[in-house]
Structure formats: structure tokens, C-alpha cells
Amino acid sequence: MAAQVAPPRPMLGAKEVNKRFGKRTVLRRQSLQVMSGEAVAIVGENGAGKSTLLRILAGVLAPDSGEVQMVGRPGYSPQQPGLLDLLTVDDHFALFGAGLGLSPTDVLPHGRSILRSLGYRPEPERPAKFMSGGNRQKLNLALALLGEPEVLLLDEPYQGFDFGTYVNFWDNVDGWRSAGKAIVIVTHTHMLAELERVDRTIEIRWVDPHVTDEVAV
């Protein structure tokens, strides 16, 4: 008898999110919903607010108004790797794992397994400041995947990847979707090859500064 597949359920929602920096409104009444097993791409020009929205969804940045709801724990991979230059790969896993309540005994094999799935070329004892750009990005992504988060928030996660690793990344996305994760991927491109690997695309555009909006405060 075939195993029953759980129906999709809402994992991440944003409603009427507004954000302003100084006099500039970056996000105006931005809403979205992402289901379990769904991958959503956020596209748009540089400066349109894609990374700002992802930071709000991750809880790193507070919206001026609006609401974010999430089921489970997010795994957030920022555009710029949040690595500590003097720490090695295992040092990072131990530090980030401790923040998740994971012991080194559990987190080190788990983290190394994630890196292998991303095609990481071993540099286990090399401090992060001496790693290649591609390996820094893979470690950045692996840290977001520690502890099996239910929601993945990935901001241009394949920067510095060669073509083979880039293709492997999208194969991993398929696996994460099959595991029921809700995935949001920010990209500044409109490459057809990428958009065919996601379920939906949301385009964020520059907010017109001449449009008044009393909500975005």
C-alpha cells in the first residue's frame, strides 16, 4: 500500500508588510503565503526590497507595520555569509549548533553531511577568511540547514558557485520540497532555468515615491 502524502499546509505568511528607511518606503503592503513542499522565488531589480522582505520574514528586521506568521523554525541564509573569519567549518557548526540546542556530537556529523550534499570541497581546518568564495557560500547555506528547519529563507544562496554546484543546488531544492519544507529564494535574475524549478514567482518592484501611503510609516 502506497504511503499517504500529507496535504500542503500554510507554513509562512506575510500580510500587509510595510517598511521605510528614513523618507524612503521600501516595502508597501507586501503580502505572501508559502505552503509546505512549495518553493517560491522572489525576483526584482536591485534595491527593490527583496532582501529587506527576507530579513523581515526571518525575524532579523522588524516591519513598520503588518504581520508575519510562521509554523516551525526558519533557516536563514543571508546574501553576505555571516561567517566568523577566524573559525573553521567545525567551529561554525559547534557555535551555531549550540544556539539551536544541539551538541557537538550531533551537529558535526549533521553539518558535514549537509556540506557533502552541497558539493563542498574539504577545507576542514582552514579559517573562514581563507576559504574560497564558493566554499564560504556553501558553509553559509549549510548553517541555515542545521537542525532541519521547516522554512528555508535563502537570499541569492548560490553566489560564487560553479555551474555544476549551481545545478546541484537546484537538485537539493527539489529534495527539500519533497521533504515538505517551505522555501523562499531571493534572486535578482529572471533566468528561465531558475524559474522553472520553483512553484511560483513573486516580483517586487520599486515603490513609487510619489504615491502617498499613510500605512507605510
Which of 34-38, 121-125, 144-148 bottoms out in mean pLDDT, i.e. has the lowest? 121-125
Instruction: Note whether 172 and 105 are same-domain residues.
Output: no
Say whether pLDDT at 53 is over 80: yes
Residue 79 forms part of a structural domain = no
User: If pLDDT is split at 50, 70 and 90, which confidence band does 4 have?
Assistant: low
Q: The domain containing residue 190 runs over which residues?
A: 1-72+150-217
Is residue 184, in this structure, part of any structural domain at all? Answer: yes
- Do 2 and 53 share a structural domain? yes
User: Of 94, 112, 147, which closes a domain?
Assistant: 147
Domain closes at, from 147, 162, 191: 147
- CATH at 165: 3.40.50.300
78 within a domain of the structure (yes/no): no
Number of separate domains in the chain: 2
141 and 158 assigned to the same domain: no
Q: Determine which of 103-117, 119-133, 143-157, 167-181 has the lowest per-residue pLDDT on average.
A: 119-133
Q: Across all residues in the chain, what is the average pLDDT?
A: 88
Does residue 13 sit in the same domain as residue 65? yes
125 or 202: which carries more pLDDT confidence?
202
Q: Are residues 143 and 186 in the same domain?
A: no
3-state secondary structure the chain: CCCCCCCCCEEEEEEEEEEEECCEEEEEEEEEEEECCCEEEEECCCCCCHHHHHHHHHCCCCCCEEEEEECCCEEEECCCCCCCCCCCHHHHHHHHHHHCCCCHHHHHHHHHHHHHHCCCCCCCCCCHHHCCHHHHHHHHHHHHHCCCCCEEEEECCCCCCCHHHHHHHHHHHHHHHHCCCEEEEECCCCCHHHHCCCCEEEECCCCCCCCCCCCCC
Note the pLDDT of residue 126. 84
Is residue 91 domain-resident? yes
Give the model's confidence band at 177: pLDDT under 50 very low, under 70 low, under 90 confident, else very high.
very high
In the predicted structure, residue 211 carries a pLDDT above the cut 80: no
Residues 50 and 8 reside in one and the same domain: yes
